[in-house]
């Protein structure tokens, strides 16, 4: 079952790349739907033993809920021409993802004895910190963050992926990289606007 | 968002986190090491036994990284990888069975090919690498093997198959998740450990940017459910862990740092929950894997390349004080009077004790064959 979820996620990411890369919003609705249907067929249909989604999965592994939500939003945006997640929600999500990535990835490379990834196997301190962050997000109406955490927790409890580590359901390097790039781009835009 | 849905969201938060807390509190506390059983089968002979032979290799130009486990009838089942060269797409995992009665190995057969693994894993794979075999407390054989999708060995991930019929047939491989960074850069080489709570300990190491060891704990289905760092930094890999009680164990690691090049050692006294920082032993290490085993009622043995710069010899070191002091008990290779392979490299030793108390060492012999040395306690005691 985890292979199905994993392949679906990698396929969704590929479709999001197609929707964003082609800037589907420029085309009529019927063309957008046709392009996405053809792309879905190409992504999920097996060529020999493997589908294109399986090749993506070979490189990325199973994708976090954050990446799935962002990929899903990109697909919806490409199909409907409307923004699926508002800029305020996105900004809050990106800051949280970048902060979590800065905490997780450098230590995961073995620089010190401390290993934050090990916390994801079931640590009261880690879950409590997550709960406090989620309650703060709820208080400040960062609903996308709250929904992602809920979905990640439920997927983790259901064992939807091969991983039994909560971190893998929350973030991955794809989401982290995307969040950094978007925040940098936004900062650059603000700097240009200030100069103008 | 309307008011009711905002409160519904909060209820969902409470339920989701309730589930997370329940999972943590319901998990049993980790148990200590379960020691291998002492000799349960009568030794075949009380006379000194020292037998050496090459394992069959009918097809492959290059073989490496042997591993073995005892199976029913006092036999051994070994695994290794072989292909046109290390890292080639045609590398497969092979197996063969040794009968200590007949003293010979069966013809080898492939158990995992790159194509079969990627089909079952539903992921593209570029090459296969190190296998490690062991047994769980229910008697099943677990075979771990490394695979790479992109790049070199630093891009490795670990896969697992299970056999309930002593390695004749295997479950489909599944992926072990052990790293948050695209799950890459986790490799296996050291033997499995058993814990009294039924979990399996799998020593692993990372090679991307850093080189360091970790100990994974796996549940009965082979999911990583806990992880402990054995070392950190950029110079230690391929941990081998040898327990001597439910709380105490010593670990050895290959050293990849600045000279002097020595085998690294770590210790735990709390069942593997925490480990001392790695220290250099007096034993040399040319950036090569070592194999270790604690004999029942006997010395701690380490199979290693007894040189700082090359793998042209392979020796047996013995310690009667659990790793504090060592002496070289034997040289498996290095004596130029014995037959030499074209490429003089002896590496990746795997050492184990069977239920009759005999010791088996398997290692890469000139990259073209796997060699097996079988000796008994009587022979070893004569080496003093």
Q: What is the pLDDT of residues B94-139, one digit of tens each?
A: 999 999 889 999 999 999 999 999 999 888 899 999 999 999 989 9
Q: Which residue of B has its CA nearest to A111?
A: B233
For B27, the closest of A104, A122, A147 (CB atoms) is A122
Task: Enumerate residues 6+ apart whose C-beta is below 8 A from A183.
Answer: A91, A94, A95, A98
Q: For residue A148, give the chain B residue with the closest CA.
A: B13
Q: Does B7 touch chain A (CB under 8 A)?
A: no
Burial of A125 (0-12, 13-18, 19+ CB in 10 A): exposed
| Averaged pLDDT of chain B | 93
pLDDT digit string, tens, across residues A68-117: 999 999 999 999 988 999 999 999 999 999 999 999 999 988 889 999 99
Residue of B141, B17, B177, B366 lying closest to A121 (CA atoms): B177
Chain B hits for A108, Cβ within 8 Å: 179-181
Interface contact A102, partner B, CB < 8 A: no
Does the beta-carbon distance from A115 to B125 stay under 8 Å? no
Q: What is the pLDDT of residues B220-264, one digit of tens each?
A: 999 999 999 999 999 999 999 999 999 999 999 999 999 999 999
3-state class (DSSP) for residue B328 = strand
Are A49 and B115 an interchain contact pair (Cβ–Cβ within 8 Å)?
yes
pLDDT tens for A125-143 read 999 999 999 999 999 999 9
Helix (H, G, I), strand (E, B) or coil at A150: helix
Reported confidence tier of residue A196, pLDDT bands at 50, 70, 90: confident
Could you read off the pLDDT of B151-176 as tens digits, one per residue?
889 889 999 999 999 999 999 999 99
The C-alpha atoms of residue B128 and residue B147 are separated, in whole angstroms, by: 4
For B:222-251, CB contacts with A below 8 A are 223-229, 232-234
Closest chain B residue to the Cα of A46, Cα to Cα: B122
pLDDT in the model for residue B151: 86
pTM of the model: 0.92
Backbone angles phi, psi at A162, to 5 degrees: -70, -25
A interface test, pick of B6, B19, B115, B122 with most A CB neighbours within 10 Å:
B122
Contact yes or no for B177 and A61 at CB 8 A = yes
DSSP string of B186-220? -EE-SPPEEETTS-EEEEEEE-SSSBEEEEEEE-T
Helix axes A173-195, A65-80, angle to 10 degrees: 60
- The minimal CB distance from B16 to the residues A3, A150, A162 is found for A150
Interface with A, mutate which of B7, B120, B123, B225 (most A CBs under 10 A)? B123
pLDDT tens, B58-70?
888 899 999 999 9
**Which stretches does DSSP call E strand in B35-155?**
50-54, 62-71, 75-83, 92-99, 104-105, 109-112, 127-135, 141-148
Please report which confidence band the pLDDT of residue B336 belongs to, taking 50, 70 and 90 as the band edges: low
Handedness of CA A58, A121, A110, B194 (dihedral sign): negative
Residues 132-151 of A with CB under 8 A from B: 134-135, 138, 141, 143, 146-147, 149-150
Q: Are A14 and A40 in contact (CB under 8 A)?
A: no
Q: Is B322 exposed, middle or buried (0-12, 13-18, 19+ CB in 10 A)?
A: middle
Instruction: Please name which of B202, B138, B167 lies closest in space to residue B71, comparing C-alpha atoms.
Output: B167
Which of A113-117, B30-34, B36-40, B253-257 is predicted with the least confidence, judged by mean pLDDT? B36-40
What band does A57 get if pLDDT is binned at 50, 70 and 90? confident
Contacts of B320 (CB under 8 A, 6+ apart): B299, B300
Pair B77, B132: CB distance under 8 Å: no
Query: CA B211 to CA B235: how far, in whole Å?
Result: 5
* B174 neighbourhood in chain A, CB within 8 Å: 162
pLDDT of residue B38: 61
Give the residue with greater pLDDT, A2 vs B354.
Answer: B354
Which of B9, B23, B229 has its CB closest to that of A113?
A: B229
Residue B71, strand partner residues: B75
Task: Record the tokens describing residue B205, joined without a space.
Answer: 């190491």
Contact B149 A104 (CB under 8 A): no
**pLDDT above 60 (res A1):** no
pLDDT over 60 at A191, yes or no: yes
How is residue B81 written in tokens? 């990888």
Tell me the ipTM for this assembly: 0.92
Which pLDDT tens digit goes with each residue over A28-37? 999 999 999 9
At residue A2 the predicted structure's pLDDT band, cuts being 50, 70 and 90, is: low
In this prediction, residue B41 has a pLDDT band, given cuts at 50, 70 and 90, of: low
Q: Distance from CA of residue B372 to its chain's centroid?
A: 17
Q: Say whether the peptide bond before residue B197 is cis (omega within 30 degrees of 0).
A: no
Token digits of residue B204 = 């692993």
Could you tell me if B11 lies within 8 Å of chain A, comparing CB atoms? no
**How far does B55 lie from chain A, in Å, by closest CA?**
33
Measure A136 CA to nearest chain B CA, in Å.
Answer: 11
Max CA pair span of chain B: 87
pLDDT at A165 over 70: yes
């Amino acid at each position: 079952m985890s292979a199905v979820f994993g392949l679906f996620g990698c396929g969704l990411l590929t479709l999001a790349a197609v929707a964003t890369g082609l800037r589907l919003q420029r085309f009529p609705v019927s063309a957008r739907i046709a392009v996405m249907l053809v792309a879905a067929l190409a992504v999920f249909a097996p060529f020999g033993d493997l589908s294109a989604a399986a090749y993506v999965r070979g490189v990325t592994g199973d994708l976090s809920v954050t990446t799935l939500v962002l990929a899903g939003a990109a697909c919806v945006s490409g199909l409907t021409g409307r923004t699926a997640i508002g800029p305020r929600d996105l900004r809050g999500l990106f800051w949280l993802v970048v902060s979590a990535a800065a905490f997780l990835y450098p230590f995961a490379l073995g620089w010190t004895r401390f290993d934050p990834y090990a916390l994801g196997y079931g640590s009261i301190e880690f879950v409590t910190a997550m709960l406090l962050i989620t309650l703060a997000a709820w208080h400040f109406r960062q609903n996308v963050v709250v929904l992602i955490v809920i979905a990640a927790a439920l997927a983790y409890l259901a064992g939807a992926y091969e991983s039994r580590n909560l971190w893998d359901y929350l973030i991955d390097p794809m989401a982290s990289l995307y969040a950094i790039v978007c925040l940098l781009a936004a900062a650059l835009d603000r700097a240009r606007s200030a100069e103008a | 968002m309307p008011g009711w849905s905002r409160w519904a969201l909060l209820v969902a938060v409470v339920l989701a986190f309730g589930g997370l807390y329940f999972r943590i509190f319901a998990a049993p506390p980790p148990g200590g090491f379960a020691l291998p059983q002492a000799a349960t089968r009568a030794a075949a002979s009380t006379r000194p036994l020292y037998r050496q032979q090459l394992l069959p290799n009918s097809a492959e130009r290059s073989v490496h990284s042997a591993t073995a486990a005892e199976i029913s009838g006092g036999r051994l089942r070994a695994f290794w990888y072989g292909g046109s060269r290390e890292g080639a797409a045609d590398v497969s995992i092979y197996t063969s069975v040794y009968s200590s009665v007949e003293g010979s190995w069966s013809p080898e057969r492939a158990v995992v090919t790159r194509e079969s693994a990627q089909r079952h894993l539903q992921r593209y794979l570029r090459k296969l690498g190190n296998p490690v075999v062991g047994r769980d407390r229910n008697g099943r054989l677990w075979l771990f093997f490394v695979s790479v999708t992109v790049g070199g060995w630093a891009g490795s991930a670990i896969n697992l198959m299970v056999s309930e019929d002593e390695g004749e047939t295997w479950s489909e491989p599944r992926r072990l998740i052990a790293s948050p960074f695209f799950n890459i850069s986790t490799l296996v080489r050291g033997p499995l450990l058993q814990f009294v709570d039924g979990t399996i300990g799998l020593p692993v190491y990372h090679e991307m940017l850093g080189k360091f060891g970790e100990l994974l704990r796996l549940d009965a289905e082979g999911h990583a459910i806990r992880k402990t760092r054995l070392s950190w930094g950029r110079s230690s890999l391929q941990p081998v862990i040898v327990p001597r009680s439910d709380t105490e164990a010593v670990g050895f690691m290959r050293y990849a740092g600045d000279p002097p090049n020595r085998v690294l050692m770590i210790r735990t006294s709390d069942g593997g929950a925490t480990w001392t920082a790695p220290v250099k032993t007096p034993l040399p290490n040319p950036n090569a894997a070592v194999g270790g085993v604690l004999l029942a009622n006997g010395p701690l043995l380490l199979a290693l390349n007894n040189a700082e710069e090359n793998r042209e010899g392979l020796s047996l070191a013995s310690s009667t004080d659990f790793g504090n002091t060592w002496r070289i008990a034997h040289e498996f290779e290095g004596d130029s009077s014995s037959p030499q392979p074209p490429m003089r490299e002896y590496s990746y030793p795997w050492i184990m004790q069977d239920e009759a108390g005999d010791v088996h060492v398997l290692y890469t012999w000139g990259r073209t064959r796997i060699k097996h040395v079988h000796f008994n306690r009587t022979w070893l005691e004569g080496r003093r």
